[in-house]
Amino acid sequence: MSDLTLPMTRQRPFDPPDEAAELRQRASMHRLTYADGHVGWLVTGYAEARAVLAHPGFSNLAEKMHPPIPSRLDLVEERSRRGVPRGFFLRTDPPEHTRYRKLLTGQFTVRRMKALEPRIHEITNSCLDDMEAAGGPADLVEAFALPIPSLVICELLGVPYEDRGQFQEDSKLLVNLETKADDVIAALGRVTAYLHGLIQRKRKEPADDLLSGLIEGGELDDEELTGVGFLLLVAGHETTANMLGLGTYALLTNPDQLAAMRDDPSVVDNGVEELLRYLSIIHLGPFRVATEDVEIAGNLIKEGEMVGVHVPVANRDPSRFPDGDRLDLARPTGGHLAFGHGIHQCLGQQLARAEMRIAYPALLRRLPGLRLAVTPEEVPMRSDMTIYGVHRLPVTW
């Protein structure tokens, strides 16, 4: 038996919970009690995290999952009753997962994302123009970190940006750990209905965008198209936006690293990887359930047992990243797990990289006097969301 429950409380803004880091110092895998009493596992070591995420003996199906924390108890029950929308392929296993993913990977290749760079520059510069024109102070999340990835994913998918008010709100509700199951289901319903309507319109009037392309391909029915659109829209909003907000905050508190990102173009690509590693914004999960007995690092995970991978502490495992608690934009960062690992590794990672490689240096060069407009204690952290970051980042320049 185990009396360990998932550590969620962070003591400092950029560091994983101390309790999780202490667990990693003791061992790489731990028995963990889930909120419904299920005794599964928590992985805190880098090599073991990678091994679990790459192993074919695990499922990502929502109906197999146990709630990791008490506030997810109702939701997990509700979701296992209703199921996840078809096409929401993050929650599928092969061969269904393979089918969905292959329809999409061609849209997110390194080359395609490279071709988007001029447009990302334009969007970034337009946000900076607006910030300069309005003058400080401003909330960096609202003025910069959210609109860049939001506009990019909307244009890519073919979702009208002027419709963003409702789905940005719903997206926030969906990743908030405190949202009640009923409200999650309602938000899910609103986004689904919106996307379903949009797909009907695109069927009549196709345009040069990803959703129109999928419709034209004819492989997916309307429900699947809605599920795919849903996943990409929410994932496109909740990830890069938080990396830009939290990453800028981390740079502002590490002035020498900020200067390197601003002044040395050769630092930018690796610097973005280091920010991804150091901040590892996945605050809850990923989780898997064993579909067979699996042995990882001498531990027998029995069929049906759930495994949580603690990415923030695994990405600071000193056996892989020496002095991993330090932000060092020049360190070798290859192989970090911020985008996950295995078949579910982030589909949009090359888009996220392109956005961050453009946005961080552009912001720091345009506004060299950028600084917090509040004390660090006043920055509201997203400790209540599945994806970590800052709710707001009041800055001036």
Partner 1 sequence: MKIKADTTVCIGAGMCALTLPEVFDQSEDEGTVVLLRETAPEGQEEAVRRAVTLCPSGAISAS
Instruction: Check residue 158 and give left, alpha or beta (phi > 0: left; psi -120 to 50: alpha).
Output: left
Using CB under 8 A, which of 334, 369, 375, 377 touches partner 1? 334
DSSP string, 175-226: HBTT--HHHHHHHHHHHHHHHHHHHHHHHHS--SSHHHHHHHHT-S-HHHHH
Minimal distance in Å, beta carbon 353 to partner 1? 8
Q: Which of 143, 185, 188 is nearest to 167 (CA)?
A: 188
Q: Please name the amino acid found at residue 369.
A: G
Using CB under 8 A, which of 39, 343, 373, 381 touches partner 1? 343
- Interface segment toward partner 1; rule CB under 8 A; list 181-189, 207-215, 309-317, 336-344: 336-344
Cα 379 from chain centroid?
A: 20
CB nearer partner 1, residue 347 or residue 364: 347
CB nearer partner 1, residue 213 or residue 304: 213
342 in contact with partner 1 (CB under 8 A): yes
Q: Which of 347, 384, 340 is nearest to 175 (CA)?
A: 384
Q: Which of residues 4-63 bind partner 1 (CB under 8 A)?
A: 53-54
Please answer whether residues 244 and 395 qualify as being in contact, where contact means their C-beta atoms are separated by less than 8 angstroms. no
Question: Strands, DSSP E only, in 188-340?
Answer: 287-290, 294-296, 299-301, 306-309
Using CB under 8 A, which of 36, 69, 83, 110 touches partner 1? 110
Question: 115 φ, ψ to 5°?
Answer: -65, -20
Using CB under 8 A, which of 345, 365, 376, 378 touches partner 1? 345
240 in contact with partner 1 (CB under 8 A): no
319 in contact with partner 1 (CB under 8 A): no
Alpha helices in 280-396 (DSSP H): 311-314, 349-366
* Measured CA distances, 286 to 40, 62, 171 (Å): 14, 12, 18
239 in contact with partner 1 (CB under 8 A): no
- Interface segment toward partner 1; rule CB under 8 A; list 14-22, 141-149, 316-324, 333-341: 333-341
CB nearer partner 1, residue 101 or residue 392: 101
Q: Which of residues 62-101 bind partner 1 (CB under 8 A)?
A: 98, 101
- Interface segment toward partner 1; rule CB under 8 A; list 8-16, 103-111, 220-228, 376-384: 103-111
# binding residues, partner 1 (CB under 8 A): 26
Give the full edge-to-edge strand order of the sheet including 394-396: 138-139, 394-396, 371-372
Using CB under 8 A, which of 12, 102, 201, 371 touches partner 1? 102
What SS3 class is residue 9? coil
Using CB under 8 A, which of 106, 135, 218, 369 touches partner 1? 106
The angle, 0 to 180 degrees and rounded to 10, between the axes of the packed helices 181-204 and 73-82 is 40
341 in contact with partner 1 (CB under 8 A): yes
Minimal distance in Å, beta carbon 335 to partner 1? 6
- Strand duo 287-290 + 306-309: pairing: antiparallel
Using CB under 8 A, which of 108, 144, 194, 230 touches partner 1? 108
In the complex, the residues that contact partner 1 under the rule CB under 8 A are: 53-54, 98, 101-102, 104-111, 334-335, 339-343, 345-347, 349-350, 353
